[in-house]
Structures are given as C-alpha cells and as structure tokens.
C-alpha cells in the first residue's frame, strides 16, 4: 500500500504544479507593457482577394501616424472571438446574415456621431436596414457596394446586330436571334446552386418585386405567411419565377454539369453571349481573356424600360464592436479608411461602387453601363441575400432551373419561412 500512496501524493503535487503553471501562463498573457507605447488594434478583414491590398493600406496608415498600430486578422473565427469576449477592434466584412446577428443583438457600437457617417449616401440606408437594425444606432458604415447585372460580350452582340434589350420582349427577341445564329445566348452554371440564386433568380425577382418592401412586410407578418397573407413567396414570386424558368431555357446545352469556374472560362472564350454574374466574375474572366470587351445591363423583366434595376449588395461594411477596449484607436483607423482618396481607390481597385455622396464615379469599362441605375437609386437587394441560410433557397432555385413546377417549391419556401419565424 505504501508505494501506491506515495504515487498518489506525487500525482497530486504534479497536478498542483500543472495548475500553477497554467495560472502563471494566464497571468503572463494579461501583463501588457504600459506607458506611451502605441495602441495595437486588431483589424478583421477576410475578403481573400483584397488581403494584400489592405496590408498596403495598413502600411500607409502606419506612416501617417504612430499612435495606433494595426494588426490584420484574416483567419480568426469571428463567433469564437465574440464568445471569448475579445472581439476584433474593427471589422470590415461582407454585410450579410452572419453579421446581422451581431447587429440585432447590439454587439456593435454606435457610429452615428462620426462625421464619416454623414457622408454615406442616404438612399443606401433601406438596404442596410432590411438586413438588420438595432434601435437608434448606426451599427455599420457601408464601405463598398457591388452592382450585378447581366454581363454580355459586346463583340458577339455587334456581330449579330443585336442591341442591349430594354424590355422583356426585346430580351426574348435577342435570345431568339442569337440562338437562331447558332450562338448560346446565356452561359449558365447550374452545378453551383449559388450562381442560380444570385443570377437568374435574383434578377427575375428583383426586376418585378420591390424586395425591400416585400421582406419588411414578410418580417412584420411573422408566422402568418401563406396563401391568405398579404405577401408570400407563392403569391409575389410566382410570376417572376415563371419568367426565370423561361430565361434559363436559353442556356447552353450542358448547363447542368457546369460550375462557376467553367462559366468564367467559357464566357472568356466567347462561347456564349450573356453571363448572369456580378462584377466579381470580371477579374476571373480577365485571367483567361484580359482584353475581352464585356458590357453589362440589368435584366429587363417588364415592358417598361423604366422598370430596369440592378442588383446590389453591400460587399464590405465597417463596424466597431461594443466589446472592443480600444474604440478610440479603432475609430482613428476607420476614419483613415473612410478618407475620400482611400475609399475611392479601394472601390476602383475592387470594382465596387462608391457609397459616399462625394465618391468619384465608377470608371471600369464594364461597370460604367450600370452607373446610371445606381445614381438614380434604381437598385434592389437580391432576394437570395435576404433569406437566412437555414432555408436552402439555393437548392430550391436549382430545382426551379431544372424545370420543377414553381408552385410547390414556393409553397415549401413559405412553409420554411413560417417555421423559422415560429422558432425565433
């Protein structure tokens, strides 16, 4: 018995030692150099295409002052950092449902007192509010906006003597002409469901339904969504979805087995005249054909040319968490990022549209065609961006593209929305 006892004792002291070591580690990590050292803030930004660009911006910022040091974080888990109560000091992220959770729970601080907040175009506010709001707070400042429409090959259009369509009938006529000439009118990539949701589906719905109004009303209705309610998917979405099914019939033969990467390659090689993708595809197309002459036009869904609208989404938005202990330093960096020259240069680089009233106009040869719609505020947030991820909308649009009858799919969508509203 004796040796066993001594073993247990030593084990206990070993454990004690481990705990002491752990506590020591914890204390060591708490200790921070005090004094006049610069404040280090964590900047969370994870859009992969522009990580290098923001690194350069941080260097520029460091050169202008020495009070604040910025550490660029593009790998941390956002939810984890909030749970740990050590959120990043400033974030610059896609404004979507992930971030809406933080907005709605009041985890992001109010930025309305910053002069930069006054520079944001007022007509963007409904787009921000329809995703998420917190009472009496400006939780996020938009930074970059993407406008998506139908990309088209100007050379192919000119070869076949067709003009950019301004009405639904003109659009069908263009497709028929191209098909008659042996050209695939539209390149579709049904293998990647998101390309259907953000393309044919969003363009068709957004071209006929006021998505902001629709989703605000839908939220007000709560669980009352169905055939008897003022708005529901099966009522308002039926006709645009039927039109969408007509649009996708003009796709190339093998659309069902093609993904996003294939689409970029094929469109770059001139295998189709139109491609329903946003500006993010422009850079990808340029990887294969840097000199391709690409234009863009909003998909006309009605017989009135004035009804044409572009699909927009807030690609990047700035926010400062309530839980940050260095809000002042974070605000200083935010003000640097919002400087007209900095924000304009970024948007020109990333093919975004400016979100401030003083922004320089877009110059990209493809996107200039969409400028007039954006300036007139003829835009909408894509419906697929306003449906929470827990509803598999993308997959539903895939089955619609494959030819499923729309009524049962939209009824399912209503039922999903009811269930979600009931749970929350």
> Which residues bind to another protein, rule: CB under 8 A?
3, 7, 22-23, 25-30, 42, 46, 48-49, 51-52, 71, 73-77, 79-81, 83-86, 194, 260-262, 264-265, 280-281, 283-284, 287-288
CB of 13 to another protein, least distance (A): 15
What are the residues whose beta carbons fall under 8 Å from the beta carbon of 419, sequence distance 6 or more? none
Instruction: Work out how close the CB of 267 gets to another protein at its nearest, in angstroms, rounded to a whole number.
Output: 12
Q: Work out the widest C-alpha separation in the chain, in whole angstroms.
A: 99
CA dihedral 187→191→197→202, nearest 10 degrees, is: 10
- Distance (Å, whole) CA 245 – CA 317: 34
Q: Which is nearer to another protein, 3 or 182 (CB)?
A: 3
Give the nearest distance from C-beta 356 to another protein in angstroms. Answer: 24
Least Å from the CB of residue 51 to another protein: 7
Query: What are the φ/ψ torsions at residue 266 (nearest 5 degrees)?
Result: -65, -40
Nearest one of 417, 14, 412, 21 to 220, comparing CA atoms:
417
Q: Nearest distance from residue 41's CB to another protein, in Å?
A: 13
Q: Which is nearer to another protein, 147 or 231 (CB)?
A: 147
Alpha-carbon 47 to chain mean position: 10
Q: How far is the CB of 1 from another protein (least distance, A)?
A: 13
Nearer to another protein, 18 or 223 (CB): 18
Distance CA 33, CA 36 (A): 9
CB of 272 to another protein, least distance (A): 15
Considering beta carbons, is residue 170 or 262 the nearer one to another protein? Answer: 262
Q: Which is nearer to another protein, 25 or 37 (CB)?
A: 25
Q: Report the C-alpha gap between 243 and 209 in whole angstroms.
A: 13
By beta-carbon proximity to another protein, the closer residue of 142 and 193 is: 193
Q: Is 318 helix (H, G, I), strand (E, B) or coil?
A: strand
Please tell me the total number of residues recorded for the chain in this structure. 424
DSSP string covering 154-218 = HHHHHHTT-PPP-SHHHHHHHHHHHHHTT-EEEE--TTSHHHHIIIIIHHHHHHHS-HHHHHHHH
Q: Between residues 230 and 261, which has the closer beta carbon with respect to another protein?
A: 261
Q: How far is the CB of 84 from another protein (least distance, A)?
A: 4
Query: CA-CA distance, 79 to 66, in Å (whole number)?
Result: 31
Q: Which is nearer to another protein, 81 or 211 (CB)?
A: 81
Enclosing H/E stretch for 319? strand 310-319
Residue 145 C-beta: closest distance to another protein, Å: 15
CB of 192 to another protein, least distance (A): 9
Cβ proximity to another protein, 53 vs 216, nearer residue: 53
Distances in whole angstroms, Cα of residue 90 to Cα of each of 45, 144, 320: 9, 16, 5
Please give the structure tokens belonging to residue 193.
């469901």
Nearer to another protein, 165 or 278 (CB): 278
Residue 30, H or E segment: helix 2-30
């Amino acid at each position: 018995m004796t040796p066993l006892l001594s073993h247990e004792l030593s084990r206990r002291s070993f454990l004690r030692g481990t705990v002491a070591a752990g506590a020591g580690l914890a204390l060591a990590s708490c200790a921070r150099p005090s004094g006049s050292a610069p404040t280090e803030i964590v900047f969370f930004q994870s859009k992969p295409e522009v990580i290098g660009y923001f690194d350069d911006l941080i260097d520029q910022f460091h050169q202008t002052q020495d009070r604040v040091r910025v550490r660029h974080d593009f790998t941390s888990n956002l939810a984890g950092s909030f749970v740990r109560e050590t959120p990043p000091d400033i974030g610059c992220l896609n404004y979507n449902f992930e971030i809406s959770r933080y907005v709605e729970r009041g985890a992001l601080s109010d930025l309305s007192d910053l002069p930069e907040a006054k520079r944001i175009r007022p007509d963007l506010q409904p787009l921000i509010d329809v995703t998420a709001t917190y009472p009496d707070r400006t939780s996020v400042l938009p930074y970059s906006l993407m406008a998506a429409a139908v990309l088209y090959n100007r050379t192919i259009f000119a070869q076949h003597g067709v003009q950019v369509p301004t009405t639904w009938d003109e659009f069908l006529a263009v497709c028929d002409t191209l098909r008659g000439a042996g050209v695939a009118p539209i390149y579709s990539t049904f293998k990647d469901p998101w390309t259907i949701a953000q393309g044919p589906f969003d363009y068709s719905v957004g071209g006929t339904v006021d998505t902001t109004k629709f989703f605000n009303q839908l939220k007000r209705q709560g669980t009352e969504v169905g055939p008897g309610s003022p708005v529901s998917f099966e009522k308002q979405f039926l006709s645009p979805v039927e039109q969408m099914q007509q649009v996708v019939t003009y796709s190339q033969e093998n659309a069902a087995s093609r993904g996003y990467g294939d689409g970029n390659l094929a469109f770059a090689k001139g295998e189709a005249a139109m491609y329903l993708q946003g500006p993010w595809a422009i850079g990808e197309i340029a990887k294969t054909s840097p000199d391709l002459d690409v234009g863009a036009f909003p998909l006309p869904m009605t017989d009135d040319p004035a009804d044409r609208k572009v699909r927009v989404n807030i690609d990047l938005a700035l926010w400062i968490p309530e839980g940050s202990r260095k809000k002042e330093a974070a605000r200083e960096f935010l003000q640097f990022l919002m400087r007209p020259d900095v924000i304009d240069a970024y948007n020109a680089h990333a093919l975004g549209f400016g979100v401030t009233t003083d922004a320089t106009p877009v110059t990209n040869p493809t996107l200039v065609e969409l400028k007039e719609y954006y300036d007139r505020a003829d835009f909408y947030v894509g419906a697929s961006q306003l449906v929470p991820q827990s509803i598999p909308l993308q997959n539903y649009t895939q089955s619609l593209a494959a030819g499923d009858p729309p009524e049962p799919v939209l009824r399912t969508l209503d039922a999903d929305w009811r269930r979600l509203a009931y749970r929350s």
